[in-house]
Amino acid sequence: MHGRPVSNHELQALITAAGYSHAALARKVNQFAADRHSLDLRYDQTSVYWWLRGRVPEDPVPRLLADVLGGRLGRKVDTDELGFTIVGRLGLTVATSADQAAASAAELWRYVLHRRTSHDSAFVAGAGIRAGFDWHFAPTPHTTPGRATGDRAVGMADVERLHRARLEFVALDRANGGGHAAAWLADHLDRAVTPLLAGRYTAAVGRELFSAVAALTELAGWMFFDQDQHGVAQRFYIQALSLVRQSGDRAYAAHILSNMATQAAFLGHGGDAARLARAARSGAGRAAPPYAPGPARGGRSPRLGACRRPPRGPRRHPPRRPRHQPLRSRHRPGLARHLHPRPPRRIRDARPARSRPAR
């Protein structure tokens, strides 16, 4: 089988070290399941192929898989080494309050910055659908993203600095590719942005702050996507969705969902991609510009344009934010610098690069 990139590099490294073929590993897992749990499992080489590309088997299969690999390697293999999760469900949920959103995003940034392995953890199929469902159907937050306590007073000048920082990171990414600046951006989020979220600010400043932080977090997601670190990228997208939900900007949240659909389509999860695209369209309501999946570019991922310009004419209610740029997806080195959407509010001079023709 060819055509879809491996996203679970940790599991691939263990399989390679153990010297198993995909078919032999699947047979051994089936045998262990029958001997230990009287389970009639029928995994085959295709199952292993998809484990390496984001599928997470149900319990007790991860434990059986760890035992099979450990027996061949001559040491104990923990399920955490299989790459099916980063740390449990870290970064895979949409928060219900501003404090929860800030804490969840900060935890992810800190973990990614200080993690001990350079490999990616697995893209979790279905996690984006759950996040989109929570964003779409969960009650709108009743609390405003304002804080009366905190060591630091945060104002619009701090928000403007975040906008300028994003422009600088976009420029670095376009010049050198996502891998060049991803670690720097993760460090910036951990060291500079986390204290802002924990500071004191009004509800109006809080809405702008969460929107600006969401734009930086989504940009980091594209950078990790650019490095084929799809598990990390997925978590950054979901946390960007969680943050922007607190700002109340449903149009930008829908745009993030459409980018998650692009990632799912690229990894071969077509059903998830279609559901995410529909959730983006229906969840944004009147704020959503028209979009729909289109034909594939170069035989790869579909064009999921979340942002086509609506027909000209009088608008009774002008849009709250500038319309985002069209999203053209094609995976190649430096992909992220061709895909960055127009961020919310005042950042208008970071124009997306023209898409290259398919080879």
Tens of pLDDT, residues 311-322: 344 434 434 444
Please, which residues have CB within 8 angstroms of residue 358's CB and are 6 or more apart in sequence? 297, 298, 299, 300, 330
Q: Residue holding tokens 């991609």?
A: 273
Q: What are phi and psi of 186, to 5 degrees?
A: -60, -40
- pLDDT at residue 159 in the model: 97
Count Cα neighbours of 146 within 13 Å in the Cβ-side half-sphere: 11
Among the ranges given (16-20, 210-214, 241-245, 307-311), the one the predictor scored with the smallest mean pLDDT: 307-311
The pLDDT of residue 330 is above 50: no
- Which amino acid is it at 16? T
Q: Rounded mean pLDDT of the chain?
A: 78
Domain ranges, ordered by start, for the chain:
9-82, 98-339
109 vs 194: CA distance, rounded Å: 9
193 vs 70: CA distance, rounded Å: 41
**Mean pLDDT to the nearest integer, 213-229:** 93
Tens of pLDDT, residues 151-190: 899 999 999 999 999 999 999 988 887 678 888 999 999 9
The number of residues making up the chain comes to: 359
- pLDDT at residue 85 in the model: 61
Q: Residue holding tokens 């600088």?
A: 168
Strand-pair partners of 201: 147
Instruction: Give the model's confidence band at 52: pLDDT under 50 very low, under 70 low, under 90 confident, else very high.
Output: confident
Tens of pLDDT, residues 19-40: 999 999 999 999 999 998 899 9
Tens of pLDDT, residues 122-145: 788 888 899 988 888 776 666 678
